[in-house]
Structure 1
Amino acid sequence: MLVPHHQDRSKALNTHATQQAPGTGWWTEAVIYQVYPRSFADSDGDGIGDLPGITSRLDHLAELGVDAVWLSPFYPSPQADAGYDVADYRDVDPLFGTLADADKLIAEAKARGLRVIVDLVPNHTSSAHRWFEAAVAAAPGSPERQRYVFRDGKGPDGAQPPNDWVSVFGGPAWTRLPDGQWYLHLFDSGQPDLNWDNPEVRAEFLDVLRFWLDRGVDGFRVDVAHGLIKQADLADWQEPQEILSGSVVDKPRPPMWDQDGVHEIYREWRRLLDSYPGERILVAEAWVEPAERLARYVRPDEMHQAFNFEYLLAAWTAPAQYAVITRSLEATDSVGAPTTWVLSNHDVVRHASRLGLGTAGGRANGVGVDDPQPDAALGLRRARAASLLMLALPGSAYLYQGEELGLPEHTTLPDEARQDPTWARSGHTERGRDGCRVPIPWEADAPSYGFGPTDASWLPQPSTWAEYALDRQRGVAGSTYELYRTALRLRHEHALARGPLRFLSSGDEVLTFTNGDLTVLTNFGAEPAPLPAGAQVLVSSAPLDNAAVPTDVTVWFRV
């Protein structure tokens, strides 16, 4: 039973809480590395990363010490939303290579002991998908239109949208066709929502799952997993509508998010995956609160993991971190699942910059050149401490490409270079997510910092990124890269993913817990926090101060 820890620091070594180990399965303790294909490695010099480029850099992931790789979409797409608008779920976009390249990547990853998870985008297709093209060509009420969410408009001539829903990217969530009907798109107008009450849609995606399972993938990260089922009456929603809204305590759930009907879909998918050998997994991208609602997605007969976005969004304070960690562990414990921790991904400001903007939690939309700029040194210091704290927690963890280099957000990206649909659809009021998607640096003195063989880069790279390049950090004591390598090695050696975790009582400035035979301390306060006598330090996110832990530093030690 977990209990509050906010007590006097003089009692900091009294045990107050226990967290038992989660169930078995490779995913319960895995560290999984997200690759954003267009920004990881470019093999042909066109400025866009590709599958052969990823294959050429797999040794980096093996050396880093991760267990699996998750690939963001590489399917044929008009790229209205960087590939999350899928035109064909059973092929590879020529931008990224071929199906043969995908097969080779999977084989080469497995040869290095790395599992491969691919993105699945089931809430919507591209407007260029053959199904939607057929729906546009067909008449209202036709079977083709039943695959999507088409409705007549309001008003005497149907000129008003069917309801008041808005797009996550800004603007209305409905677009009208010339014949007068409207179609729903919770994201861009090029991403029409599918109708998951249609058995044909369900059968199609079971077949898509089989296609990739037969090619050897180890699982699927499910995009917008909480959005497939909409409230049947498509009722108006007067509250602010964001993908982050999810379910809020003591308030009704929005009619477009986290409807109970999604769980029937994932139980069917789980039965299919369980029929394959090798422990294939499902990972939910579900922006859902509270933690008890999120835990429903990882019940024993549903998904295996669900990203903990409440943790990503938590403030950088000891009370906030304690609260979200304990709440998350209690919720997933109740269903026998691991908690899945994450600090950065392709949709949020990188935590090396986010944490340099203050102690507030996550920020989904980007930072522009005219916005308040993060403190780079403070952000990196806190990011290293946060990562070391996260990797000490029981359960699984996700890393976003480049965070092992300490990469910040590109906050001075020229507005004319932005490609995220959020920028245009918000009327240029939201910078969007391009700043966290810039191609990453491998070699300080190479063209495009080693991203590709030429200077081409689909988003411009900051001139300061040479200092973050992998070849400037590999083998350098104290570098962010070597910190991650050390932490991942120790995490495995000390079985930190299995627990048990026991919180120790502390004040509002220091967070301390034991996990197995290690003690972990993060100092959020203004004054150094002393280590106990005889402490043997295994790793620290920054140098210690005469056996004391400075501000914004995490340390793992044994007594």
Structure 2
Amino acid sequence: MSASDPDSSDWWRSAAIYQVYVRSFADGDGDGTGDLAGVRANLPYLAELGIDALWFTPWYLSPLADGGYDVADYRCIDPAFGTLAEAEKLIAEARRLGIRTIVDIVPNHVSDQHVWFRAARAARPGGPERALFHFRPGRGADGELPPNDWESEFGGPAWTRLPDGEWYLHLFAPEQPDLNWAHPAVRREHEEILHFWFERGVAGVRIDSAALLAKDPYLPDFTAGTDPHPYIDRDELHDIYRSWRAVADEYDGIFVGEVWLPDSERFARYLRHDELHTAFNLSFLACPWDAQKLRRTIDETLAEHAPVGAPATWVLCNHDVTRTVTRYGREETGFDFAAKAFGTPTDLALGTRRARAAALLSLALPGSVYVYQGEELGLPEAEVPRDRIQDPMHFRSGGTDPGRDGCRVPLPWNGVLPDAEPWLPQPSDWSAYAADRQARDPGSMLGLYRTALRLRRTEPGFGDGPMTWLPPSGPGVLAFARPDGLVCVVNLGPEPAGLPAYETVLLASGPLDEDGRLPRDTAVWLRGPHILGRSPMPS
């Protein structure tokens, strides 16, 4: 399977997938909030970009306490975004352009406004409505202490007490109560939700927080090193995903899991032939701009996928992390939630140069690749005024964490500020990044992505398949070969680097120097005569 075969049933093994954060993508009705009308109007832009699928972060009915990851109704589009009929039209119109749709399912928790939780909150302690969640009496003389010591992913305790004295579990915000996956009604409901969306033509489902659903039924305190963990990567999860896979197979649908696990053998279990198809490669996303560390991450990623025959995925940024241009322009170029801080200095020129090189690196690696909206425009992280921040990570940190809103600011489609005030303010200097302006400049970040994605689709050697590392021409240089004579070279070192013998420069993230060498923080795709016409090389 190669990237040049988008209609194959194995399309997902090599796909270029574009992440749409609907609220910030395009505003179709002028009210300051992105919507499905805005996405539909820009489908030609997405088709010209050259992507194979769209992954939509949650577009369902939600109070938006956590950017839509607090779902109140999975069968209803939030009115701020449109209607279910519009979603169905969007799925069909995109497919006619050769673009598939992936929706986001959040199985670990629901909104506190979900009908199930509203009924549970109104029920008496011990009532059957509460069995769908994790309700417990507190500890202490009067039950005034949480049932255990678990911490929320957003900071603070993972428990909230109701007026009747019982506590409920939420691994994220209090507005996101965790479901009890030991209850058959929870499993049945989610399988019906999968049927609902596959029936409407979606090609796949991205599973949020895929390793967190199952909990130890005793909800014990967490002790570091405990095996198994009381709520991460428990063995019960695999039976859940095998039942989900049976549903997806009815529709030739695919699953993408958000799985953060340090143990490669445990990670690979989720990618067995009867479970998930792919999982996000989050170690690559968090890796610093360092040749040795990137090579190790790439090797480890390919090695952990190999035993189960699953393709790797590559992603530089998403709706939760600092944008690539900004991150790569900082002294610390990796990503760590704990290291986020207001006012961190950034060299945007340096970051942009590295982001251009990183784009060619990620697009040349074996497997599928994800592009977060705005990455193709080279958008930096926006400095959102403190009084406009909406992310619960900011508030749960006591205001020390800037949160994730800086990578969620609405896209600039043209050089004119929008008539309606966007839900997050757009920086005044973003006209330089406008899509219409970049579309006229082949040397822009948009021009680079368009060309790279076109080559990735038309060159059979790209996409899923083998790769072989080549000897580096200097310190800090990564060089590898793909089938059909394709070679990618990335210079992360301090000095210009020589190139291997080649016939043609297919694409470069920046110009070669006057001696034909590759400058620092630059990448190039070559066709090398020394391997032209050979069969695919062993990995």
**TM class, shorter-length:** over 0.9
Distance 2:77 2:502 in 1: 56
Instruction: Map Cα deviations across residues 507-556 of structure 1 (whole Å, 9 max, x no partner).
Output: 65111100112111111110100113445211111111121111111111
Equivalent residue number for residue 86 of structure 1: 71
The match for 2:512 among 517, 539, 544 is 544
Q: Does 1:515 align with 2:515?
A: no
Equivalent residue number for residue 417 of structure 2: 447
Distance 2:488 2:359 in 1: 12
Equivalent residue number for residue 374 of structure 1: 346
Equivalent residue number for residue 246 of structure 2: 271
Question: Residue 502 of structure 2 contacts residue 526 of structure 2 at CA under 8 Å; is this kept in 1?
Answer: no
- Could you tell me how far 1:91 is from its partner in structure 2? 0.6
Distance 1:109 1:366 in 2: 39
- Give the direction of change, closer, same or farther, for the CA distance of 1:484–1:271 in structure 2 (3 Å limit): same
Distance 2:247 2:104 in 1: 17
Distance 2:471 2:308 in 1: 27
* Aligned-partner SS, 1:91: strand
Question: Residue 159 of structure 2 contacts residue 167 of structure 2 at CA under 8 Å; is this kept in 1?
Answer: yes
Name the amino acid aligned to 2:231: M
- Give the direction of change, closer, same or farther, for the CA distance of 1:251–1:474 in structure 2 (3 Å limit): farther
Q: How does 1:128-527 map to 2 (within 5 A)?
A: 128-239=113-224, 252=227, 254-276=229-251, 279-364=252-337, 370-410=342-382, 412-444=383-415, 446-448=416-418, 454-495=419-460, 496-506=462-472, 508-516=475-483, 517-527=485-495
Q: Does 1:110 align with 2:64?
A: no
Distance 2:482 2:124 in 1: 61
Name the amino acid aligned to 1:101: E
Question: Residue 256 of structure 2 contacts residue 280 of structure 2 at CA under 8 Å; is this kept in 1?
Answer: yes
Question: Residue 469 of structure 2 contacts residue 481 of structure 2 at CA under 8 Å; is this kept in 1?
Answer: yes
- Could you tell me how far 1:293 is from its partner in structure 2? 2.5
Distance 1:367 1:328 in 2: 25
Instruction: Map Cα deviations across residues 167-220 of structure 1 (whole Å, 9 max, x no partner).
Output: 111111100111111100011100000000101100001111111111111111
* Aligned-partner SS, 1:529: coil
Name the amino acid aligned to 1:477: P
Distance 1:292 1:549 in 2: 38
TM-score normalised per structure 1? 0.90
- Give the direction of change, closer, same or farther, for the CA distance of 1:366–1:414 in structure 2 (3 Å limit): farther
The match for 2:60 among 75, 78, 97 is 75
Distance 1:303 1:46 in 2: 38
Equivalent residue number for residue 11 of structure 1: none
* Aligned-partner SS, 2:76: coil
* Aligned-partner SS, 1:498: coil
- Give the direction of change, closer, same or farther, for the CA distance of 1:533–1:114 in structure 2 (3 Å limit): closer
* Aligned-partner SS, 1:188: coil
Name the amino acid aligned to 1:384: R
Distance 2:277 2:337 in 1: 25
Distance 1:337 1:350 in 2: 27
User: Which structure 2 residue ranges, 5 or more long, are not aligned?
Assistant: 1-7, 529-539
Instruction: Map Cα deviations across residues 426-461 of structure 1 (whole Å, 9 max, x no partner).
Output: 1101111000000001111x332xxxxx23200000
Distance 1:178 1:551 in 2: 61
Q: How does 1:116-127 map to 2 (within 5 A)?
A: 116-127=101-112
Distance 1:330 1:427 in 2: 40
Residue correspondences, number: 517
- Could you tell me how far 1:486 is from its partner in structure 2? 1.0
Name the amino acid aligned to 1:447: L
Query: % of aligned pairs identical?
Result: 54
- Could you tell me how far 1:475 is from its partner in structure 2? 3.5
Distance 1:196 1:78 in 2: 23
Instruction: Map Cα deviations across residues 403-422 of structure 1 (whole Å, 9 max, x no partner).
Output: 00111110x21000000011
User: Which structure 1 residue ranges, 5 or more long, are not aligned?
Assistant: 1-22, 240-249, 449-453
Distance 1:89 1:490 in 2: 37
TM-score normalised per structure 2? 0.93
Distance 1:290 1:440 in 2: 37
What's the RMSD between the two structures over aligned residues?
Answer: 1.6
Question: Residue 147 of structure 1 contacts residue 198 of structure 1 at CA under 8 Å; is this kept in 2?
Answer: yes
Question: Residue 311 of structure 2 contacts residue 464 of structure 2 at CA under 8 Å; is this kept in 1?
Answer: no
